[in-house]
Structure 1
Amino acid sequence: MKTSSGRLHPFAAVLASLQIVKGLIVPLLVILLSKHSHSGTGAPIYFQVGWSLVALAGSIVWGFLSWRRFRYEVSDGQLKVIQGVFVQKKSFIPLERIQSVDLTEGVLHRLFGLVRVEVQTAGGQKPEAVFPALARGEAARLRSMLEPGRAPQGQGQPGAVPAGSEPPKLRMTYKLPAGSLFVAALTTGGFGVSVSLLTAAMSKLDELFPDFHVYRYLWNALDAAMIPLFALGILLLAWMISTIVSILKFANFTITRKENKLLLTRGLLERRQVTVPLRRIQAIRIVEEPLWQLFGFSAIYAETVGYGAQKGENAHLFPLLRNRELGEFVKRMTPQFEVPASPEHHALPRRALWCYALPAPLVLALAAIAAGLIAPWAYAGLLLCPPVMIWQWWRYRSAGWSREGRLLVIRFRRLAKTTAVIPLSRVQSVSVETGPLQRRLGLSTLRVAVASSGRGAFFRLAGLPEPEARELVRWYRDRNKR
C-alpha cells in the first residue's frame, strides 16, 4: 500500500508572509504617503512606521506558524492534510475522488526549484488541497501517488514524462508557434478588460493621493487639443498591457492528450500545468475575433465542470489555430466533440433580421432624442445608429444552428463569432422564449444550458423559427430514447 508523509518546503513560510504583505501594501502606502488626516492633523512619522513594522512582523510570524502546522500524508487509500494556525483543519480525500493534480511554478518558485501543487476532486469548484511550496522531486513523487496510473517521475521540469513511457498513439501534442502567440496577443479580447482596469485604477488616484490633485494638475497642464491625444495614449497603454499579459500567459503553450486527459502547459514567468479530464468537458466553443476571421484563425475554449472559473485556467484549449486545422485538432484532442466536415447548417430566416436590426438602434435613437432635449450635443448619439444597425445585421448573418446525431451546434455573434458544440448528454436544460415582436413573426429564442464551473454556461440563439425550436426541444426531451 502506498504510504508517504511530509511537510512543505520552509520557503512556504516566506510565501505565506508575502501573501499577507501583498494585501497590506495599499493601506500601508496610504498611511505612509498621507501628510494630513481629514481633521487637518498629521500622524507622527514614528507612528506610521511603527504600524508598518508591526504588520510586517505579524505577517512573518503568521507565515512561520502556518508552515509549521501544515502536514500531509498519503496512506490507507486517501490523502490526509492537516493545517491551520489557531483553528486546525483536517482534510481526508479518497484517492479515487482525485481528478487531477495541477502544478505551478511562479517566479519565486523557479528561483528555488519549487512547485505549487493543487489537488482537484470530482465536482470540486476549487482545489481541495493546496501545497504552496514543494521541492520538484517531492512534487513529482506526490503526483505519481495521487494520480492513478502514473509512473513515478524524476526531478526536473514538473509533469515531465520519461520518453517511451506511453505508446505514441496515446500521446498527441500541439504547440503554439511563436508567430501565432504574437498574433493572438496583439488581437486578444483582453483589451477591453485592460481599459476597464486602467480606468478604475485612474479613478482612484485622487482618493489615494488627495494632496497631489492629480487630475487638476493634468487639466491645467494639458491644452484642450491635447486631451484627445491623452485619451488615445491611455487606449494605447491598455492595448500594450493586454498584449504583454497575453504573451506572459500563453508563452510556451502546449496541449497534450494522454488517454482520457488533456495536459495544458503554459506561461513565461509563471509556468502552469493543468490537467483536464475529458469527461469534465461539457461543451467546446470555437471563437473567431473579427480580425481573426480575415486571416482564418480561431481560438478553442472548453466549458468544464469543476474549478475552471478560477482565473480561467481550463478555458483555453488552444489560443490560436488555423481554421483548416480545427477538424483535425478536435478529432485528436476532444473526439467526443467531432463534427462532420460539412454539417447541414440552418441559417435564420429573413424575417429574423427585424429582431436583430430594429430593437437596439431604436432604443439608442429614442435615448439620444430624449437626452438631446436637455443637452443638444446628445443628438450626436444618432450618428451611432447606422453602425449599430450594421453590427446587428452582421450578428444576424452569423447566427444559425445544426444538429449532427447527438451533437448540437449553435452559432452566434456578440462581437466575436462563436460556434458552440454541445453533446446531448451534457445538456442540462433547454428553454424557448418568445417576445412580442418574435410572436408576431413566428420566431423564438432558444436557450441551452450546460454545467460549467459551478455557475453553468448558457448559449442563446435568437430568431429561430418556432417549428425548429420545438424540434430541438423534442430532441432534448427524447434523449433517453436514443
Structure 2
Amino acid sequence: MIDVADATLAWRRLSPRMLVIHPVQEVVRAAPALLGLLIAGTSSGGQGHWWSLAGVGLMVVLGMLRWFTTTYRITPEHVQVRRGLVTRKVVTVPRDRVRTVDVTSHVLHRVLGLARVEVGTGTSERRHEGRLKLDALSAAEAARLRVELLHRAPAAAPAASAAPAVPSGMPVVEAELARMRPEWVRFGPFTMSGLVTVGVVAGFVSRLVSEGNVDLGKVGPVQETWRWFREMSLPLEIATVVLVLVVFVSVASTLGYVLAFGHFRLTRHPEGTLHVTRGLLTRRATTIEERRLRGVEVTEPLLLRAVRGARLSAVTTGLRAAQGAQRGGSLLLPPAPRAEAVSVARLVLPRVSGAASAGSDASPVTTPLIPHGPAALRRRFTRAYGVHALVLAVLLALWWWAGLPSWTWLTAAALLPLTALLAADRYHSLGHALTSGYLVTRWGSFSRRRVALECDGVIGWNIERSFFQRRAGLATLTATTAAGRQGYHVLDVELAEALRLAAAATPGLLDPFLTEMRPVSSVGQ
C-alpha cells in the first residue's frame, strides 16, 4: 500500500521532447513492414504509398500517446511509474531495493538532450521484471536521479560498508580505474560480434523480401554474382565464402567494438559506487553499488585468448550476467589485454586491493589453481571422443546406405586430433582455489571463465553427481548466490575435495549434514 504522504506528491511527466523520440522509434521498428507494404502495393498497381503513409501516421500517434499516458514520481520510499491508456498499470519499486541505475542516450536522445533511465532492483533480472524504465528524461534530470537513488548518505548503509562522508560544499572527485586506449581496437576482430551483425542484416533483408514479395533471382546484380560464383569449383566456392565471411565479420566486429566501447571509462565514486560510461554514438552509463559487489568474472573466448585478451565483468546483485558482454550492464572492462583485466580486477575487489597495498600476492585473479586430477582428465577425453565417435558413426551409416559423399566422414575422421586438443584444453581450464576470502573457479574452452566469488555472498551449496560421475568418484559443486548467474560451478572435482572446499568457504554451514552422515558411513563399514 502507498502511504498517504506519498500520495500527496505530484506525478511528473517525462520530457516533452520525447514526443519526437517515441514516434521515430515506432516508425523505425515497423520499417520492414511499412517498406514491404509500399513495395507490394506499388508492384501490384495499388496505392501502396497511401497505405504506407497511413501506417506511418498510426505509428506516430501510438508514439505520442506514450507521453500522455506515462507519469512517474519519486517519494522517500518508492519510485513509481504509471502508464497505459486502456489498461492502467502502476509499477512501484521500493527505494531500498534499488541496486543499479543504467542511463542510456542514443543518437537522437543526445541531439535532444535526453536520456533513458533503467532502475534495477535485482529481482527477476533475467526476465527484466525487476527493471523500471523511464524513457525519456532530460540529461540533467537523469544524472540527478542516478545520484539521488544510489549515492545515499552513509547512515543509510551498514556501518561496515559505509564510505567516508564528503564534506558539504566540496566537489566530488572520482578515482579513475580504467580508460579506453586506442590500441585496444586490435581486439575488435577477435570478439566475433560481427556474426550478430550478419544475422541482423540477413533477417532484415529476408523480412523485407518477404513483405515486398520480391524475387531476388530476377535482380540483375544478384544474377551476375550468382552466375560468377557457380562457375567456380567446389573448393574455390568454399574458400570464397569463408574469406568473404571472415572479412565482413572482422570489419563489422571492429566497427561494433569502436561504437560500443568508445570513450569507455571506469571510475570509483567516494560514496561507494562504481561508474561505467561507454559508447561512441549511443552513450551508456551504469552505476553499481560496491556493497552489492560479490566478485568478478574474467572471460577469455578462444579467439580473444589467442591474442592474450580478456574482458572483465562484475558479479553483483541487481545486474544480469553480461551475455555477450557488450550489452550486459555488468561489464567492467571491454576486450582488452589480459594483464589490464587482472589489474582492474585487483582494484575493484575490496579485499584484494587492500592485500595488494600491503604487498601481498594473494589475488583471486592470479592465484594458482588446484587441478582436478586424472579422473577429470579421463572424463574430458571420454566425453569428447564419445561424441566424435557418434558423429562419425552416423556419417558412415549415411555414406553406406544413403549415398552421402565420402568426404564427410573422412573429414570427421581427420578432425580426431582436434578433438584431443579440445579435450586437453577443457581439462587444463578446470581448477579451483580458496584465497583472500574468495572462492575461485575456472572452466570452459571455447569461452574460458574464471570467477572470483566472495565467500560471504554464498548462500548455499549444491552437490550433483551423475551416474558416470559417481563411478569416477567425482561431483559438481555449485555455489549458490544472489548475484550474477546465481550459481557458479566447480566441475568434476573429487567428492572429498568438494566437501572440504564448501566447509572451508562457509564454516559451519555443512556441519549438520556431515554430522548426520557419520553414523550412516560407520554402519556401512
TM-score by structure 2 length? 0.76
Contact in 2 for aligned 1:79/1:93 (Cα 8 Å): yes
1:372 corresponds to 2:396:
yes
1:267 corresponds to 2:279:
yes
Distance 1:417 1:343 in 2: 16
Deviations 1:31-72 (A, max 9, x none): 222379xxxxx75421x3333222221222222232133333
Distance 1:52 1:134 in 2: 31
Deviations 1:390-424 (A, max 9, x none): 11111112211111253211122221332111122
Q: Once the 2 structures are TM-superposed, how far is the Cα of residue 122 of structure 1 from its aligned partner?
A: 5.2
Q: Which residue of 1 aligns with 2:193?
A: 190
- The number of residue pairs the alignment matches comes to 460
| Alignment partner of 1:462 out of 467, 477, 491 | 491
Q: Which residue of 1 aligns with 2:320?
A: 308
Contact in 2 for aligned 1:115/1:134 (Cα 8 Å): yes
Q: Which residue of 2 aligns with 1:397?
A: 428
Equivalent runs, 1:286-325 vs 2, <5 Å: 286-290=298-302, 292-293=304-305, 296-308=308-320, 312-325=327-340
Q: Once the 2 structures are TM-superposed, how far is the Cα of residue 474 of structure 1 from its aligned partner?
A: 3.6
Q: Once the 2 structures are TM-superposed, how far is the Cα of residue 381 of structure 1 from its aligned partner?
A: 1.4
Q: Which residue of 1 aligns with 2:46?
A: 45
The one-letter amino acid of 1:340's match is: A
Contact in 2 for aligned 1:365/1:381 (Cα 8 Å): no
Q: Which residue of 1 aligns with 2:183?
A: 179
The one-letter amino acid of 2:175's match is: R
Deviations 1:109-141 (A, max 9, x none): 121222222333353634654332333333344
Contact in 1 for aligned 2:311/2:333 (Cα 8 Å): yes
Deviations 1:156-189 (A, max 9, x none): xxxxxx99523x6x73432121212x02312215
Shift of the 4–145 alpha-carbon distance from structure 1 to 2, 3 Å rule, reads farther
Q: Once the 2 structures are TM-superposed, how far is the Cα of residue 253 of structure 1 from its aligned partner?
A: 0.8
Equivalent runs, 1:333-348 vs 2, <5 Å: 333-336=348-351, 340-341=362-363, 343=367, 345-348=369-372
Q: Once the 2 structures are TM-superposed, how far is the Cα of residue 251 of structure 1 from its aligned partner?
A: 0.9
Q: Which residue of 2 aligns with 1:352?
A: 376
Distance 1:412 1:63 in 2: 46
SS at match of 1:86: coil
Deviations 1:77-136 (A, max 9, x none): 544433323333334444444334332221111212222223333536346543323333
| Alignment partner of 2:262 out of 251, 267, 281 | 251
Q: Once the 2 structures are TM-superposed, how far is the Cα of residue 359 of structure 1 from its aligned partner?
A: 1.9
* More deviation, 229-238/339-348: 339-348
In structure 2, stretches of 5+ residues that fail to align are 154-167, 354-360, 399-403, 512-525
Q: Which residue of 1 aligns with 2:476?
A: 445
Shift of the 431–130 alpha-carbon distance from structure 1 to 2, 3 Å rule, reads closer
Q: Which residue of 2 aligns with 1:154?
A: none
Contact in 2 for aligned 1:283/1:450 (Cα 8 Å): no
Q: Once the 2 structures are TM-superposed, how far is the Cα of residue 364 of structure 1 from its aligned partner?
A: 1.7
Q: Once the 2 structures are TM-superposed, how far is the Cα of residue 13 of structure 1 from its aligned partner?
A: 1.6
Deviations 1:350-384 (A, max 9, x none): 34322112222332233223222321332121122
Q: Once the 2 structures are TM-superposed, how far is the Cα of residue 477 of structure 1 from its aligned partner?
A: 6.4
The one-letter amino acid of 2:437's match is: R
Shift of the 128–234 alpha-carbon distance from structure 1 to 2, 3 Å rule, reads closer
Q: Once the 2 structures are TM-superposed, how far is the Cα of residue 323 of structure 1 from its aligned partner?
A: 4.3
Query: Between the two proteins, what is the percent identity of the paired residues?
Result: 24
Equivalent runs, 1:32-431 vs 2, <5 Å: 32-34=38-40, 43-46=44-47, 48-75=48-75, 77-121=77-121, 123=123, 125=125, 126=128, 128-149=131-152, 165-166=171-172, 171-180=175-184, 182-194=185-197, 197=200, 207=210, 210-214=213-217, 217=223, 219-222=226-229, 223-225=231-233, 227-228=237-238, 229-258=240-269, 259-290=271-302, 292-293=304-305, 296-308=308-320, 312-326=327-341, 328-336=343-351, 340-341=362-363, 343=367, 345-374=369-398, 375=404, 376-379=406-409, 380-404=411-435, 406-431=437-462
In structure 1, stretches of 5+ residues that fail to align are 37-41, 151-161
SS at match of 2:115: strand
Q: Which residue of 1 aligns with 2:163?
A: none
Distance 1:99 1:72 in 2: 19
Distance 2:122 2:472 in 1: 45
Contact in 1 for aligned 2:478/2:489 (Cα 8 Å): yes
SS at match of 2:415: helix
Shift of the 466–54 alpha-carbon distance from structure 1 to 2, 3 Å rule, reads same
Q: Which residue of 2 aligns with 1:17?
A: 23
* More deviation, 216-225/247-256: 216-225
Contact in 1 for aligned 2:191/2:335 (Cα 8 Å): no
Shift of the 357–202 alpha-carbon distance from structure 1 to 2, 3 Å rule, reads farther
The one-letter amino acid of 2:408's match is: A
Shift of the 207–388 alpha-carbon distance from structure 1 to 2, 3 Å rule, reads farther
The one-letter amino acid of 1:86's match is: V
Contact in 2 for aligned 1:171/1:256 (Cα 8 Å): yes
Contact in 1 for aligned 2:296/2:451 (Cα 8 Å): yes
Q: Once the 2 structures are TM-superposed, how far is the Cα of residue 314 of structure 1 from its aligned partner?
A: 1.9
* More deviation, 6-15/138-147: 138-147
Shift of the 460–201 alpha-carbon distance from structure 1 to 2, 3 Å rule, reads farther
Contact in 2 for aligned 1:265/1:273 (Cα 8 Å): yes
Distance 2:379 2:180 in 1: 40
Q: Once the 2 structures are TM-superposed, how far is the Cα of residue 15 of structure 1 from its aligned partner?
A: 1.7
The one-letter amino acid of 1:318's match is: L
Q: Once the 2 structures are TM-superposed, how far is the Cα of residue 458 of structure 1 from its aligned partner?
A: 4.0
SS at match of 1:345: coil
Q: Once the 2 structures are TM-superposed, how far is the Cα of residue 243 of structure 1 from its aligned partner?
A: 1.9
Distance 1:177 1:278 in 2: 25
Q: Once the 2 structures are TM-superposed, how far is the Cα of residue 479 of structure 1 from its aligned partner?
A: 5.0
Contact in 2 for aligned 1:184/1:319 (Cα 8 Å): no
Shift of the 401–171 alpha-carbon distance from structure 1 to 2, 3 Å rule, reads same
Deviations 1:213-269 (A, max 9, x none): 449945444223352213421232122212211211111111111132111100000
Distance 2:508 2:290 in 1: 21
SS at match of 2:99: strand
Contact in 2 for aligned 1:175/1:252 (Cα 8 Å): yes
Distance 2:427 2:316 in 1: 28
Deviations 1:420-456 (A, max 9, x none): 1112232354333334544443333333443346xx4
The one-letter amino acid of 2:493's match is: L
* More deviation, 433-442/375-384: 433-442
Distance 2:506 2:145 in 1: 45
TM-score by structure 1 length? 0.82
Q: Which residue of 2 aligns with 1:157?
A: none
